[in-house]
Structure 1
Amino acid sequence: MDALREDKVQRCELDYVSHDGRQRTGLFLEAPTHAPDGSANGTIGVLLDITEYRQIELSARATEQSLRDITQRIPVVVFAVRRGHDRQQRLAFMAGNLHALFGLSPSDLLEQDDVLRDWPFHDRIHPEDAPALRRLLQRATRHRGTATLDFRAYGAEGLRWIHLVMGTRRLPDHKVEWIGYVIDTTSINAHNQTLLAARDAAERASKAKADFLATMSHEIRTPMNGVIGMLELLGHTSLDQEQRELVHAVEDSAGVLLQVLNDVLDFSKLEAGNVRLDDAPFDLRTLIDNVAGMMAGSAHKKSLQIDVGADATLAGKLLGDSVRIRQILLNLLNNAVKFTEHGSVSVGLRVIGDDGHVQRVRISVTDTGIGIAADKQANLFTPFSQAESWTTRRYGGTGLGLAICRHLVQLMGGSIDLSSRLGEGTKVTLELRLGIAQREIERAPELAGRHAIVRLASIGTANALTAHLTTLGLTVEQIPPAQPMRRGAAANLLFIDAGDQESAAMIAAQAILIDTHANGSSGARDHDERIWLHANPLKWQAVARVCAQALQPLAQPSRHANASAAATPAAMSQAHGRILVAEDHPISQSLIRRQLDLLGWSCDVVGDGRAAFDALRQHDYAMLLTDCQMPLMNGYELATAWRQHEAQSSKRARLPVIAMTANVLDGEVERCRDAGMDDYLSKPMQLRQLEEKLRTWTPRAVSTHAPETKAGFFEDVFAEPGMEDLRAEMLQAMLRTSEPDLQKLEQAIAQDDSALAQRTLHRMLGALQLFTNGAVMAEGRELMAALGGADADRALRQLPGYLENLRSVLDDLERQTHRADNSLSPLE
């Protein structure tokens, strides 16, 4: 009726029951209809089902009311502001306790309708924070995204800290809307200020402690360096055995104290933030070589095996602080050796990531030592902490090592982890990301494309060696000793175990024998022209050097293989005052080299007369010291050949040639002079005797650095200061080389070969006389002389009995070595 009377559409909401019996809400519209003359003549009605829309509206209202209830109970205000086409900012929504935060009511922010009035709000902002808030609001009008700001405002209860979060979005009708919230953070800010004050106080205390430690460490280190230096000088003076033992004990204690001071100083620097890393190119393979070499002596004293391996894909040079990385590895290796009594210590390196610019490397240090209980491992990286209290008493240390390592690794952006089982050993893993400074490996060009066969019983050594060889550019084939050599196998180099004589005869390749004993040497050729590679530890540099040496005859056919033992031309050019030593036994080589070094002379050592002759023709020397019995060309032949060369080349200066011989009978002396030698030295050579010969035959070039020695001859070749460790090393080396010589003597007896017997016996006695001068030496010299004369057959028949006496002496020396090793144990 209203639609007809008012002639317009009428509407109302009504509830009804639909045909399925459900309660519904509808919007009923009634519109008038008209006759042709324009008069209303009826109505038409439409019922729209708005049940779902009404439920959504009710839910939205309930949510809005809940939001308002929540914001009234906590110090937060939620808002939405829109800007339309008229550029007016309108308050679309607001909920919360605006009065508590700003001392305002919503009506204070509105002008007419819903147009926003913002000056009352800005009037409440602290003057120091107002510019920052204006800049944020201006930025929000131009950019999308979320912005945050902490500022101070005056609320109902005074000055408050407010945290603002506001986001901007574009609406479909090109309008802009800002939605966000402000929350009271006064209590949180007060708590943060308390924490900051506590942090500042702690930092000041820590810095004061670090400064104190640094100052004290420096003050103590200065006199400690003087103490250690004076002890070193005292050790080179004339001391009896008891005094020398006391000096060594003091040196050890001083060294431990200095290490403690260094740890404290490093830790104080790290805590104070005074450690800066220097990135520079370095060779990580060589660095690991050097660290393993530094720890080899300590490990070998405890009969520990040191294994080293590096990934073949490691870049030639990386960018990093090599000094700090060396410090970390030294600390980890030192711990591994210190806490390991039996077994081995190993260093492994793997490349676990490479993006072309940076390599991610993983370095692990593993030992078979005492291990660490699981409940003790968490505190190991804590300063001044060790797993057990008794470890400090038994092994020493400050408990700072791992803490320093962790600090340094964190500075490098890396990680360090430890895993261990009690009684089974420990593994420390270090991961670093290092830039690639140079991808290429520095290697000898003649190694590229060569083929090597690795035939070793130890899988670990074989894998490590294979990686090194691959890095050097060789192709490598691993054939275990238990597996037969394949038919038609060919190679340039063959790496075999020391006792594997069969494999060396199967293939025409340069055999390189792997030496796993302590204090071994790499590159030395024995009397059978075999090359040795020391694998305890297996160093990258040693592998590269030995491979180049082994392939040198292939690259330079005109030169004898042993000539590589001579120094390089760059080191020997115009070497006036340099001495050439021709000696085939490695024990005697080490001794004469050390003796000349103590007397202030430099020398080059070759293994036979032919190599010595080649070296003499290429370089100038002040003197030639030559053994008389050597392979290929003996000392007599060498002296004669050189005198002929001097005559033919019209050399003005005559080279002094001194024989080194164990046979000083009149006939031997005459034979030396007839060959062109000027003088002789009896073996074993004493330091004083050697010095006198040098002064006699090179008066103008005599060294002024020779140590002071007592008058008269020494009873012991190794009696001079600094020779004790050399004696132990050479004794072990002599014992290792004696067994092959004994086997060769037995072969000479079986074959009635007196010449072979004489050469081998001369070789053995030349080394043995350094350690004993008993009846076995006198008997051996008589047999050696008889083997070269008319009574050779009788001497061969006497050799079996003499070999038993010789073995007995060698066994006694070996027992002495074991007793000496036990006496040096750090646990006693």
Structure 2
Amino acid sequence: MVKPRAVTILTEPVFARGEKPGLLDSRMHNSRPSEPPERLGTADFPAHLFDAFAEAFSIGSWTWDIASGDLELHSSALDARNVPRTLKTRNAEASTTMKLLHHWLDSCTPGATNTASFTLRTDPVAVRILCVERTETTVRGLLQDCTAETLTSENDQRFRMAFMGAAHGIGLVGLDGSWLQVNEALCQMLGYTEKELRERTFQDITHTDDLENDLDLLHECIEGKRNAYHMEKRYHRKNGDIISALLSVAVLRAENGVPLYFISQIQDITAQKEAEGELVAARDEAKRASAAKSSFLASMSHEIRTPMTGVMGMLDMLQESGVSGDQLELVKTARSSAEMLLSIINDVLDMAKLEAGKVEIASRDFNAETLLRTVCDMMAARAESKGLKFNAVLPLSTRTWLKGDPDRISQILFNLLGNAVKFTEHGDVSLTAEVRQAGDGLELVLRVADTGRGIPAEKVDRIFQEFERVQDGASSQIEGTGLGLAIVQRLVDAMNGSVQVESIEGKGSLFTVSLPLAAGAAPAETQAPAAAIEETSGTAPQPAAPLSVLVVEDNAVNRKVIGSVLSIAGIEPTYAFDGAQALEAVKEQDFDIVFMDVMMPVMDGLTATKKLREVGFAMPILGLTANAMEHHREACFEAGMDDHIAKPFRPADILAALETHGGKRKQI
């Protein structure tokens, strides 16, 4: 019986007669060590067998010409990859790799078989070169395409370098949660050595409150529902500290889709979370400070406006009492000072509301010419009192209806014209307005010019800042808060407009405001002329009976002021000192209108209004309040009031309210 043998085929290249080298010399070695290898001739192993062997293992040959430095490659595998057959290793343009190859080839020992090898990288392949034989003119040997092996090795090396050198933590995690491999950054982050960490699972160091969510997402990856996930979580460090981290996990699968392990990237965001916490705390503190500021301003507004109502009301009464001469001038001076104080209060409150973003821009129809003429009439009187000429240029284009916030537009004009009058000693102040087409809408352009002292060039860019004033020897004596232009800028911005200034020191200034507005609609005529009513009725109109008015006010001075104003209309009001008394008064008498102070002892005006509406009182209730913030006004309407009159009020405000609301029943 013939015993089987294991055979090892050893091949050596044979270079003969300058022909292409081939694998022609072989030996067969059996499994019995006592027997020497048997030499097999070429006839035993045909050339085509060796060619097939070479092709299967991507083996070829090469020849290097020592004189020229040309390297000739012979390999079907390289031919298939379009690798040049001839490579230059000596010329000046040779790459560093080729220069290294040249040095290596030149070091091969003549007349001997060399076993050293060199891996040559030349796009798109890697070739392992084995030097076998050197003569005086050439060096020859074998080559093998090792592209796949080299790329795998290089990829492994790159992965290891990225893995170990990453600034954030990276770990390979088994399906059971064990750490298979971790980098130095992760060890430093968690305070463990590599050995200590690999003895633990990620579950061991995960914060209890975050573990369930982490495991749920991990299981979804194992089940194939997702390939990766991201989450914020907390880890326990070795010393017991807790850190916050941003975790990114990806699952690696075999070719058949079976999950093998996870790659976890962990970024320490503890400092970021602490900073976020500090920002949240700072934001909350800012909100508390803003609320305290608003509360303070509301309180100061109420405390100042309440006596201001009495001061200005009494001055109005005194002026109407028939005083003349020096006494009338004294009254006017006192009234002017009171108005200046009120203007300062209003500026501070407006700025506070603008800073808090609580100013809402209304959108209602208004007549541009009517608004502009009203402002001009008021400012012309102020200019003339200083001996200034006031010019108004209102072309036909302003005789149109627009949609916007007429109150805020008036406020912008009052601030700009007020400054123009204030800072102009001689000459004139002018307002030029126009309404022009701008895209699909309209644009209201307002130009306020004066011949005043002007603004120094270096201060022009700062005049719209809060409390910024053009300070010099004269202007430092002019009253004001320095908030007027800052308010103008904020209001213009809120209306998506623009404001520009041109000024020459000593000659005057020009402010140009452009406001984009929509076209408005004129109100429909809802009432026939009085003459037509007379003709229809056939009888002369009878004078209306005086309204029955209830004034609910705890301040005696303010009661007296309101009473004196109502007496102008021939009304003798009934008084209540708080909300509780108002409820009793309504039970005993029918009233056409109620003026209700908001802040009172016993029962405030808002509570009293709600109770009156609950029992079916349907006549108008007008709020009187020294709280001028927007949310106070809204609170009045939410309680059931029909209107809101801010203190200090003018006699005209009360009379206008009577005309607007007197006797109108509210639908409840």
TM-score (norm 1): 0.41
Larger Rg computed on CA atoms: 2
Structure with the higher helix share, 1 or 2: 1
TM-score (norm 2): 0.49
Compare relative contact order (CA 8 Å, sep 6+) and give the higher one, 1 or 2.
2
